[in-house]
Structure 1
Amino acid sequence: MPSPIRTLLTPARPADIAVVTDRTQRRLIGAEISIVVILTFGLSGAYSALSLLEAELRSGGIGNSTVALNQSTSTIDYIDLARQLLAATRLFAIAALAAYLIYRGGVALHRAGITRRPTRRDVAWGAALAAGIGLPGLGLYLVARALGVNAQVLPSDLTDTWWRLPILVISAVGNAGAEEVLVVAYLITRLRQLGWGENRSLLASALLRGSYHLYQGFGGGLGNVVMGLVYGRFFQLTSRTWPLVIGHALIDTVAFVGYALLRDHLSWLQ
């Protein structure tokens, strides 16, 4: 019986996810992964890298920059609301696309950890993952800000309207669904079908996650790579996606809503 440490370092590949050996099918899977990743988070990673480079080339560097995660896009209230809902819809569509492609790829959704509803155990694990990542992540952000290698991040810059808090919660859930279902469940499952090792696919997933957070600075990129390693390994060991979605949604909800309500008392985060 393998030791727990060895299992954590190199988890066993699920026996029910077979490696595709047909050359044509392998090429199609590779093309699918490339297209999906580029259209969803790959381009975001490239834009984030350019944003970081641009900030570093300006006087003062990334440490003197400010980025807002949720911004108003119009001075007309209901136009702004409609755009926020469209942005959230795109995120949910990304999660749905990832689940669909897993199924079309010949893998039952429950084998990729995607079930109709979470269990109580999923909720408990999600809360544990949120605490395990959220609190150290806040500490890393403060250290990175003190070192001048991270932008000031405003979790919410939405106009104070009646729909602000519900939209922030919807955005948090949408972010969680899109990232965890596609970047973890979809990507790792499809790479398993190509015969990639667990550590190699884990690193690919984590680096992708870190890349599209580089606009926040080096701290944001590094912190999300670490989050990707933890969340990806959890998925590989448990074949459960709901805890990742719940944990991510909790982190973002606390950050978005908490900042919106308490921003006048959070000057120490700036």
Structure 2
Amino acid sequence: MTTISGPDVVRAGSPRLGVEVLIVLAISLGQSGVYSVLRIIERMTRGVQLNQQTSTLNASVTPDRPWLDLTYQLIGIAFAVVPALLALYLLNLTDRPATKRIGFDLSRPGFDAWFGTVIAACIGIPGLGLYLAAKALGVNTQVQASGLTDHWWTIPVLILAAAQNAVLEEVVMIGYLLTRLGQLGWRVPAILITSAVIRGSYHLYQGWGGFAGNLIMGLVFGLIYLRWKRVMPLVVAHTLLDVGAFVGYTLLAPHLSWL
């Protein structure tokens, strides 16, 4: 592992790394997890069964003004990637180049593409089954995967949103967090469980099915990363999963009542 000398650089193993991790999580997905816990508490205390409630993703901001809505969507996507850039910047202080360190680069495009596609197929079909089962049992909300109004830019924006989710979650929750917790001396089981629980927590607003499904996904993704040390296949897989959910919902929901 390459380190950078100098008094102002945070070195691997420094107690300051723990503070760094808390700050990164507090401004990104850890914060989302806290709000999601509050959201599920609010939902469960409504007196209405979870499967009678709706969780809307990718909602329109100004549906009556499409160009302004498009601007809101693009700006939101751009700002949402910033925590991933921050995580890469901080990793670069101790593990240069950070993109190579976590495998977030284009050095193996063929491998990343086919392996990511396989991962998506293996996760996606059981994931849909888990969602439908959880909804039937009343422990998950009805997830409206796209709340955007119908415009020429709807599907491109949904694809961008899927890629943004993938980059943010896999860079921060896998590449960054697994690296930093390892440098802090955590054991592998604790690292995997912590990352997976946080991933599940920020999906709790959807219900307990969303939590369980993403916790399992987090464990699988963590194990894959520890084996191959590359984030890019996970980014590809996550992008494909979200594109399937977002675009698939947009195209199929009007024709399939069970979605």
User: Is the TM value for this pair above 0.5?
Assistant: yes
Structure 2 Cα separation of the partners of residues 186 and 78 of structure 1 = 36
Structure 2 residue identity aligned to 1:236: L
The CA RMSD measured in Å over matched residues stands at 1.8
Q: Does structure 1 conserve the Cα–Cα contact (< 8 Å) formed by 2:174 and 2:225? A: yes
Following superposition, the deviation at residue 24 of structure 1 comes to 10
* Residue in structure 1 matched with residue 67 of structure 2 by the alignment: 78
**2:21 matches 1:33:** yes
1:256 to 1:187, Cα distance in 2 relative to 1, 3 A: same
SS at match of 2:55: strand
Question: How many residues align structurally?
Answer: 251
Q: Does structure 1 conserve the Cα–Cα contact (< 8 Å) formed by 2:95 and 2:101? A: no
* Residue in structure 1 matched with residue 32 of structure 2 by the alignment: 44
Structure 2 Cα separation of the partners of residues 200 and 47 of structure 1 = 23
* Residue in structure 2 matched with residue 245 of structure 1 by the alignment: 235
Structure 1 residue identity aligned to 2:243: T
In structure 2, which of residues 171, 178, 199 is the aligned counterpart of residue 188 of structure 1? 178
Report the more deviating stretch, 127-136 or 53-62: 53-62
Structure 2 Cα separation of the partners of residues 118 and 166 of structure 1 = 26
**2:207 matches 1:217:** yes
* Residue in structure 1 matched with residue 120 of structure 2 by the alignment: 130
Residue by residue over 1:6-41, the C-alpha shift from the partner in whole angstroms, topping out at 9 and shown as x without a partner, is xxxxxxxxxx489xxx99962210110001101101
* Residue in structure 2 matched with residue 165 of structure 1 by the alignment: 155
Structure 2 Cα separation of the partners of residues 35 and 268 of structure 1 = 41
Structure 2 Cα separation of the partners of residues 24 and 98 of structure 1 = 14
Structure 2 residue identity aligned to 1:59: G
Structure 1 Cα separation of the partners of residues 195 and 53 of structure 2 = 27
* Residue in structure 2 matched with residue 120 of structure 1 by the alignment: 110
% identical equivalent positions? 45
Structure 2 Cα separation of the partners of residues 238 and 43 of structure 1 = 29
Structure 2 Cα separation of the partners of residues 121 and 24 of structure 1 = 30
Aligned residue runs from structure 1 range 86-101, under 5 A? 86-101=75-90
**2:171 matches 1:156:** no
* Structure number having the greater helix percentage: 1
Residue by residue over 1:129-172, the C-alpha shift from the partner in whole angstroms, topping out at 9 and shown as x without a partner, is 10111110000000000000000001111010111010000000
Following superposition, the deviation at residue 117 of structure 1 comes to 5.2
Structure 2 Cα separation of the partners of residues 188 and 247 of structure 1 = 18
1:64 to 1:111, Cα distance in 2 relative to 1, 3 A: same
Structure 2 Cα separation of the partners of residues 252 and 23 of structure 1 = 36
Structure 1 residue identity aligned to 2:38: L
SS at match of 1:160: coil
Displaced runs of 4 or more, over 4 A = 22-25
Structure 2 unaligned segments of length 5 or more: list them: 4-9
Q: Does structure 2 conserve the Cα–Cα contact (< 8 Å) formed by 1:17 and 1:193? A: no
Residue by residue over 1:93-115, the C-alpha shift from the partner in whole angstroms, topping out at 9 and shown as x without a partner, is 22222222111123532122222
Q: Does structure 2 conserve the Cα–Cα contact (< 8 Å) formed by 1:259 and 1:266? A: no
In structure 1, which of residues 43, 56, 65 is the aligned counterpart of residue 53 of structure 2? 65
Q: Does structure 2 conserve the Cα–Cα contact (< 8 Å) formed by 1:91 and 1:177? A: no
SS at match of 2:146: coil
Aligned residue runs from structure 1 range 136-147, under 5 A? 136-147=126-137
Following superposition, the deviation at residue 244 of structure 1 comes to 0.3
Structure 1 unaligned segments of length 5 or more: list them: 1-15
Report the more deviating stretch, 258-267 or 112-121: 112-121
